[in-house]
Amino acid sequence: MSMNRREFIKITGLSTLFGLAGKGAFELLRPGVLDAAEHGHGHGAPAPEEPAEAAIRWGMTIDVEKCSEPGVVERCIKACHSVHNVPDFGDTKNQVKWLWEDDYEHTFAGNENEFMADHVKALPFLCLCNHCDEPPCVRVCPTKATFRRPDGIVAMDYHRCIGCRFCMAACPYGSRSFNWFDPRDALNQKEYNMEFPTRMRGVVEKCNFCVERLAKGQMPACVEAAPQALAFGNLADPDSNVRQILRKRSSMRRKLELGSKPSVFYLV
Amino acid sequence: MGVKVSLGVSLGAVLAIVAVALVGGGVASLQPVFGIIVPYAAFVIFLVGFVYRVVDWGRSPVPYRIPTTCGQQKSLPWIKHDKIENPSSTLGVIGRMILEVFAFRSLFRHTKAEMASGNIVYGASKWIWLGALVFHYSFLVIAVRHLRLFLEPVPFLINGLDLVDGMFQIGAPTLYLTDLLLIGALSYLLARRLIVPKMRYISLANDYFPLFLILGIGISGVLMRFFIRVDIVSVKELTMGLATLHPVMPEGIGAIFFVHVALVSTLFAYFPFSKLMHAGGVFLSPGRNLSNTSRAKMHVNPWEYPVKIHPYEEYENEFREKMKNAGIPVERE
Amino acid sequence: MYDAWKILVGLAIFLGLFTFAFWMNAGKAAPVPEVKIDTPEIKKMPEPERKCVEDKHFMRTTHMQLINHWRDQALRDGDREYVNKKGEKYVISLQNTCIKCHSNKKEFCDKCHDYAGVSPYCWDCHIVPPEEPKEEPKGNEL
Amino acid sequence: MAKNPKYYESLNIDYKPPRGNWMDRPIDIKSGIYCYPARPQVLKSVGMNDRSDWGKYWVIEDEDWELPDDWKERFLAKMRDMLDKYRTFKIYMDICVRCGACADKCHYFLGSGDPMNMPVMRAELLRSIYRGEFTKTGKMLGRLVGARKLTKKALRQLWYYMFQCSECRRCSTFCPYGIDTAEITIMGREIMNELGMNIAWIQESVSKCIHTGNHLGLQPQAYKECVEAMLMDIEDNVGIIIEPTFNRKGAEILFVTPSGDVFADPGIFTLAGYLMLFEHLGLDYTWSTYASEGGDFGYFTANEMAKRMNGKIYAEAKRLGVKWILGGECGHMWRVLNQYMTTWHGPIDFLEEPVSPITGTKFENAKAHKMVHIMEFTADLIKNNKLKLDPSRNDHLKVTYHDSCNPSRGMGLFEEPRYVIKSVCNHFYEMPENTIREQTYCCGSGSGLNASENMELRLRGGFPRQNALRYVRDKYGVNMLACICAIDRAALPPAAQYWNPDVGVTGVTELVANALIMEGEGPRTHNIRGFEIATWEPEP
């Protein structure tokens, strides 16, 4: 555990303070230092801020028609929510959701295909965090609790979340939920997934593309639950499964006009 | 003996204490000296010295009732009396003292006067008030927080204070706000003495020394919490030993702990002999703790003695003829 | 002494405040907590393998910083492998590495934390393993 | 008289102190700043610690101040005695943290830039001796802890700066511990008084007062003449004939005012104001030639001397058999009356609790003391509609009010004079808030420093007040500065002449008398000063 500059800053909590006070101020005082410190750190991975050709960009394809098969959507949602200890408060107002079902009009509100086939309009759409390439939620987070990993996953550090909900306002897809109550009140203690933590009251949460499973070489829980409908892979690799699928099938992405570059593709 | 000497001596003294503690704390056989004997001795010096100083002040009476009046006196019933700034009752005095002790009321009045193109201009200047207030309150919270090492079980309120102080939950162990504030405020108070020419002129080594000392206490504490870790359970074993009067010296406590303790002990022992006695003095200062009622009630001076007042008889004897000529009545024709 | 009554009351308050801890502790012993490492998971291990990721002294003084560092390493950098001073590798996970062995929070974590007045917020999110009912302390054992 | 600094020179004040330790600086005793020393024979005449046993006259410029061989022992014995007698002294020596809150609050510092005039340094002069001679740490560590031994140099320095403090207490308002530098100065002066080291201006006044009853040394017939001199003016300008009484037994009220009011312009117009007001009310009162001084220059020498001088007032009240005492407009007179008088002489059971014979108001705040301030008295009259007033007679005046420092910070008399002024003047403007009420400035000449040889000090010390005055003069056209202190009325005119040449100085009671519609008065075309009201331009 050698102590480099970034760690020093982190341990004393100054990085957060600088985050709050504006990194710009620090830049003014010591131009380049911060960048150098951040770039100098790490395990070979470039810092998240760095725009560079990444080797990995995780993405997902959702075959909408296959999702309409009975039980698929429910199975996916249950798999996701139970593995991540997502609470169910039973009402939409306080709902916490990582993966959920919505209809065509809501999913593509504002840029519906003008004369979309009727049967498509009637299909259920699985919604989740789009793990955007240009995530607006990351830009607004004052504590950097939300950040974009080098592999394209938009991740959250719940320890840092202060519950300001700027990210919820910034996300165009409604992918984020706020814990108005202690989530453990709405979870069955006997059904806890002991390998994954819960959240606490006052923080925002969302889909994490199952980073903890990817680390163990597993597929995301939803993909595992419905392999016929969902596919997951590296969008940066032209030969990956998802790229091959996308080469063959026509797809849609949500709210492309916003320029956030979602990584979830709906196959229609 | 200029600023450099004062600064050098003060800083040198603090560094010397650090050095002695580092060396001594590193030697196992000396650890009981630095961990037990020195703290006990310093604490006793503090208590006895403090009480002695206050009692010594008490041995001198307050012969006259002369508080500074910073507001309207109590006079005619229709004139609004300033009960706090010019108290006429014990209650008013208590109010004034509470404001003074807990909010540094008088320091809050602080303005700065400067010359600008031939005129004196006055500016609000609350920084010294803020710096002093932040320093004192941070120090208080830090001191109270340390009770977790001297009480078992740790009272709910102390744990609560700990949580509030670490409420930003930055890092682990969590960063205390008061640690930042204390060191920030002390740095301000020190910088002010060094940078402002007037302050530099009036500052003595015994102004710099306590600043360096408390700064040293703060820095060694922060180092111990975040950088040069010590086993807190062993530390509490030691501190509980002190607090239960059954001192024990656990093994394996790092030297940084002894540095911290040595500096704190120095502060305790230094306190009664220094300007830090303002902590007791502020309560006893007759400039603020008296009511302005000497016209309504007689204040008795224990050593008052009669004096020779030029008697009227002598006066009349000397000027009788002149008085009679001027038509001024006299006692004896 | 003049105003003796007022001054003595003030001094009594002063002495009371500063010797508060002595009075509170009078006649009490404050035994140092002993942590238990007799969880089923640890018992399963053969004696020589019963060791934590780092040595005991390091863990006692610095575990919180290690965990904090782990958090950032795993969560922010996606690096879930910890190499200790001896070069041994461990998976970085509070839930799956630390608590797997130390499944007795009450007897292991809380003992010292309560003693030292430390209230870590780990358990706000991380799940405390259910402890076997017979290990629950029965009332006050004073 | 010392050469006064030119206006622009005075403005060239640098508040930045020199480098280095103050203890190393040579003492530069400047003429124009200090007052002449007291003469041994004057001290002797009042039985004070005279210098007759070593006898030499004392020349300020000399390095050697003709001190007795045992001067150190005398000084330190007196200091020990004072420390044992005054808790204030001990605490104020011990608890200063040198926070610097007082540094730029002193009018002498603001007017001179001399760093030793920062109140904290003035106190350090004595505090350093306290540390070096009375504390163990000071004896051991010496200069390191700001301690020094009592030397002739230290004594000279102490004397020089203790007589550059007018004991106005402005600094103590800002001190977080209420350390009252005025008290430290009082202690310092009293200790040095033990060596006969006082100043002529104070000591001559003390001597005269002990002898004749007033600082000016007016013998009874002269005092009476001075008062009566105003009667003709009043007759001319108001058309009223007044016949005041002196030393009259059986009067209800004894009136005591500083003798400055009977002698010098513009105080005499305040005196005329008293006469007219009391005549109008038909007050049963008397003047006294024996207790013909409210002020107390003894206060600037030693506690005992202050008490000796002040004692005449009660002695005279007792002799004449009055019911209570009314006090005129004066500064340190009222500080002494308020803070010391009852303790010195009390309990005062030969007088009655003061009740206004006109309104029946009981002055409960003076229950034990039995003495009422003229502003309290007049404010009560106006509030109860007992005075017919025509404030338009003061319409040619744009008035501002100088809170005289002693009644402000030694008493808290803020609203009464304002109420009175606003009732008798239509044009009243406050000076900036940092310069009034509890933050008011001294006139620059208080505590016996209104001699003429120290005019530079007085003008420099008067600068902050005059600077504030100039602000309202320029902004509102203020042309009259009202005050309730005789030293103000003596000291503000020369300072105003220097800094604000077109602003006059007046006592508040003069304004009252000018506005007062008296029964049987003639046509009021002229004010008390004898100027035609319509065309009058105030002269300083």
For A62-84, how does the pLDDT look when each residue is reduced to its tens digit (9 = 90+)?
A: 998 888 888 889 999 999 999 99
Q: Are residues D159 and D283 in the same domain?
A: no
- How far apart, in whole angstroms, are the C-alpha atoms of residue D486 and residue D261? 6
pLDDT of residue A186 exceeding 60, the answer is yes
In a domain? residue D323: yes
Say which range, A110-124, C3-17, D422-436, has the weakest mean pLDDT: A110-124
Looking up tokens 């360096």, which residue turns up? Answer: B212
- How far apart, in whole angstroms, are the C-alpha atoms of residue A171 and residue A210? 19
Q: Are residues D168 and D268 in the same domain?
A: no
Closest CA to D397 of D495, D505, D487: D505
Q: Are residues A198 and A113 in the same domain?
A: yes
pLDDT of residue A20 exceeding 60, the answer is no
Q: Are residues D111 and D250 in the same domain?
A: no
- How far apart, in whole angstroms, are the C-alpha atoms of residue C76 and residue A45? 11
Q: Are residues D249 and D264 in the same domain?
A: yes
What tokens does A90 get? 């039973």
pLDDT of residue D239 exceeding 60, the answer is yes
CB B226 to CB A10 under 8 A? no
Looking up tokens 């002390």, which residue turns up? Answer: B186
More confident residue, D49 or D406: D406
Q: Are residues A21 and A123 in the same domain?
A: no
- How far apart, in whole angstroms, are the C-alpha atoms of residue D99 and residue D176? 9
- How far apart, in whole angstroms, are the C-alpha atoms of residue A260 and residue A135? 6
| Burial status of residue B137 (CB atoms within 10 A of its CB: 0-12, 13-18, 19 or more) | middle
Q: Quick one: pLDDT at residue B239?
A: 94
Q: Are residues A70 and A21 in the same domain?
A: no
pLDDT of residue A19 exceeding 80, the answer is no
Q: Are residues A161 and A113 in the same domain?
A: yes
3-state secondary structure labels for all residues of D401-441: ECCCHHHHHCCCCCHHHHHHHHHHCCCEECCCHHHCHHHCC
Q: Quick one: pLDDT at residue D11?
A: 61
Q: Quick one: pLDDT at residue D330?
A: 92
- How far apart, in whole angstroms, are the C-alpha atoms of residue A152 and residue A134? 9
Which of B60, B154, B280 has its CB closest to that of C117?
Answer: B154
Q: What is the dihedral of CA D405, D409, D415, D420, to 10 degrees?
A: -30
For D214-228, how does the pLDDT look when each residue is reduced to its tens digit (9 = 90+)?
A: 999 999 999 999 999
- How far apart, in whole angstroms, are the C-alpha atoms of residue A65 and residue A267? 8
- How far apart, in whole angstroms, are the C-alpha atoms of residue D405 and residue D441? 6
Q: Quick one: pLDDT at residue A178?
A: 94
For B100-157, how does the pLDDT look when each residue is reduced to its tens digit (9 = 90+)?
A: 999 999 999 999 998 887 888 898 889 999 999 999 999 999 999 999 999 988 999 9
Q: Which 3 state secondary structure label does DSSP give D492?
A: helix
Q: Quick one: pLDDT at residue D189?
A: 95
Q: Are residues D294 and D180 in the same domain?
A: no
Closest CA to A83 of A248, A235, A218, A180: A218
Chains that touch D (3 or more CB pairs under 8 A): B
Name, in order, each residue with C-beta under 8 angstroms of B159's C-beta and a sequence gap of 6 or more.
B148, C117, C119
Shortest Cα distance, chain C CAs vs residue B185, angstroms: 24
pLDDT of residue D263 exceeding 90, the answer is no
Name, in order, each residue with C-beta under 8 angstroms of B61's C-beta and a sequence gap of 6 or more.
B301, B302, B303, C2, D85, D86, D87
CB B298 to CB D124 under 8 A? no
Contact status of C2 with chain B (Cβ, < 8 Å): yes
Looking up tokens 């331009």, which residue turns up? Answer: D537
Which of D143, D364, D467 has its CB closest to that of B1?
Answer: D143
CATH number assigned to the domain comprising residue A144? 3.30.70.20
CB A159 to CB B169 under 8 A? yes
Integer distance in angstroms from the first to the last C-alpha of chain D? 20
Shortest Cα distance, chain B CAs vs residue D47, angstroms: 10
Counting one residue from chain A and one from chain B, the pairs whose CB atoms sit within 8 A come to: 13
Q: Quick one: pLDDT at residue B217?
A: 97
pLDDT tier at C130 (50, 70, 90 boundaries)? confident
Say which range, A90-99, A137-146, B256-265, has the weakest mean pLDDT: A90-99
The whole-chain average pLDDT of chain C stands at 85
In a domain? residue D233: yes
- How far apart, in whole angstroms, are the C-alpha atoms of residue D221 and residue C73? 101
CB B168 to CB A10 under 8 A? no
CB B171 to CB A159 under 8 A? no
Helices (H), A84-216: 104-107, 118-121, 136-140, 166-170, 211-214
Give whole-number Cα distances, D535 to A77, A264, B159, D270, D476, in Å. 98, 94, 78, 21, 19
| Burial status of residue D416 (CB atoms within 10 A of its CB: 0-12, 13-18, 19 or more) | buried
Contact status of C29 with chain B (Cβ, < 8 Å): yes
Of D198, D213, D229, the residue at which a domain comes to its end is D198
For residues D517 and D470, the answer to whether their CB atoms sit within 8 Å is no
Fill in the DSSP letter of residue D308.
Answer: H
- How far apart, in whole angstroms, are the C-alpha atoms of residue B185 and residue D144? 25
Q: Are residues A136 and A33 in the same domain?
A: no
CB A195 to CB C95 under 8 A? yes
Q: Report the residue of chain C nearest B52, measured CA to CA.
A: C11
CB A158 to CB C125 under 8 A? yes
Q: Which 3 state secondary structure label does DSSP give C14?
A: helix
Q: Are residues D331 and D391 in the same domain?
A: yes
Q: Are residues A78 and A184 in the same domain?
A: yes
Report all structural domains of chain B as residue ranges with CATH numbers, in order of start: 3-326 (1.20.950.20)
Shortest Cα distance, chain B CAs vs residue C116, angstroms: 6
- How far apart, in whole angstroms, are the C-alpha atoms of residue B268 and residue B41? 9
Of D181, D198, D215, the residue at which a domain comes to its end is D198
Q: Are residues A12 and A63 in the same domain?
A: no
Q: Report the residue of chain D nearest B196, measured CA to CA.
A: D16
- How far apart, in whole angstroms, are the C-alpha atoms of residue D176 and residue D96? 9
For B235-282, how does the pLDDT look when each residue is reduced to its tens digit (9 = 90+)?
A: 999 999 999 999 999 988 889 999 999 999 999 999 999 999 999 999
Q: Quick one: pLDDT at residue B27?
A: 84
CB A11 to CB C65 under 8 A? yes
| Burial status of residue A248 (CB atoms within 10 A of its CB: 0-12, 13-18, 19 or more) | exposed
Shortest Cα distance, chain A CAs vs residue B136, angstroms: 23
Q: Are residues D360 and D476 in the same domain?
A: yes
The whole-chain average pLDDT of chain D stands at 91
Q: Where are the beta strands (DSSP E) in D46-123?
A: none
Q: Helices C4-18 and B38-59, interaxial angle, to 10°?
A: 170
In a domain? residue D533: no
For D404-428, how does the pLDDT look when each residue is reduced to its tens digit (9 = 90+)?
A: 999 999 999 999 999 999 999 999 9
For residues C4 and B54, the answer to whether their CB atoms sit within 8 Å is no
pLDDT tier at A42 (50, 70, 90 boundaries)? very low
Q: Report the residue of chain C nearest A211, measured CA to CA.
A: C78
Q: Are residues D225 and D325 in the same domain?
A: yes
Q: Is the peptide bond before C31 cis (omega within 30 degrees of 0)?
A: no
pLDDT of residue C137 exceeding 50, the answer is no
Q: Is the peptide bond before D220 cis (omega within 30 degrees of 0)?
A: no
Mutation pick from A8, A9, A16, A203 vs chain B, by most beta carbons of B within 10 Å, is A16
Q: Are residues D165 and D116 in the same domain?
A: yes
A159: chain B residues, CB-CB within 8 Å: 169
In a domain? residue D1: no
Q: Quick one: pLDDT at residue A118?
A: 80
In a domain? residue D534: no
Closest CA to B213 of B18, B8, B1: B18
pLDDT of residue D64 exceeding 80, the answer is no
Q: Report the residue of chain B nearest A15, measured CA to CA.
A: B170
Fill in the DSSP letter of residue A255.
Answer: T
Q: Quick one: pLDDT at residue D129?
A: 96
Q: How many independent structural domains does chain A possess?
A: 2
Name, in order, each residue with C-beta under 8 angstroms of B102's C-beta and a sequence gap of 6 or more.
none
| Burial status of residue A164 (CB atoms within 10 A of its CB: 0-12, 13-18, 19 or more) | middle
Question: Residues D155-177, buried b or exposed e (16+ Cβ, 10 A)?
Answer: bbbbbbbbbbbbbbbbbbbbbbb
In a domain? residue A45: no
Residues in chain C: 142
Closest CA to B218 of B173, B170, B267, B171: B267
Q: Are residues A22 and A136 in the same domain?
A: no
Question: Could you please report the per-residue DSSP string of D504-520?
Answer: EEEEHHHHHHHHB--TT
CB C25 to CB B236 under 8 A? no
CB D246 to CB B315 under 8 A? no
Q: Where are the beta strands (DSSP E) in chain B?
A: 111-116, 119-124
More confident residue, C97 or D49: C97
For A201-224, how does the pLDDT look when each residue is reduced to its tens digit (9 = 90+)?
A: 999 999 999 999 998 889 999 999
pLDDT of residue C141 exceeding 50, the answer is no
Q: How many CA atoms lie less than 13 Å away from B141 in the CB half-sphere?
A: 20
- How far apart, in whole angstroms, are the C-alpha atoms of residue D240 and residue D521? 6
Q: Are residues A71 and A203 in the same domain?
A: yes
Contact status of A104 with chain C (Cβ, < 8 Å): no
Counting one residue from chain A and one from chain C, the pairs whose CB atoms sit within 8 A come to: 48
Residues in chain A: 268
In a domain? residue D2: no
- How far apart, in whole angstroms, are the C-alpha atoms of residue C110 and residue C35? 9
Q: Are residues A186 and A101 in the same domain?
A: yes
Q: Are residues D249 and D365 in the same domain?
A: yes
Where are chain C's structural domains? Answer: 31-119
Say which range, A11-15, A105-109, A117-121, B302-306, has the weakest mean pLDDT: A11-15
- How far apart, in whole angstroms, are the C-alpha atoms of residue B99 and residue B94? 9
What residues make up the domain containing D443?
205-515
Q: What residue type is B190 in one-letter code?
A: L
Share of residues in chain D with pLDDT > 70 (%): 95
Q: How many independent structural domains does chain D possess?
A: 2
Q: Quick one: pLDDT at residue A243?
A: 93
Which of D86, D247, D347 has its CB closest to that of B63?
Answer: D86
Q: Are residues A76 and A34 in the same domain?
A: no
Q: Are residues A20 and A126 in the same domain?
A: no
Shortest Cα distance, chain C CAs vs residue B116, angstroms: 47
Q: Strand A230-234: give its sheet, edge to edge.
A: A230-234, A58-63, A264-267, A251-252
CB C76 to CB A195 under 8 A? no
Integer distance in angstroms from the first to the last C-alpha of chain C? 48
Q: Are residues D189 and D66 in the same domain?
A: yes
Chain A, window 166-205: residues with a beta carbon less than 8 angstroms from a chain C beta carbon: 189, 192, 194-200
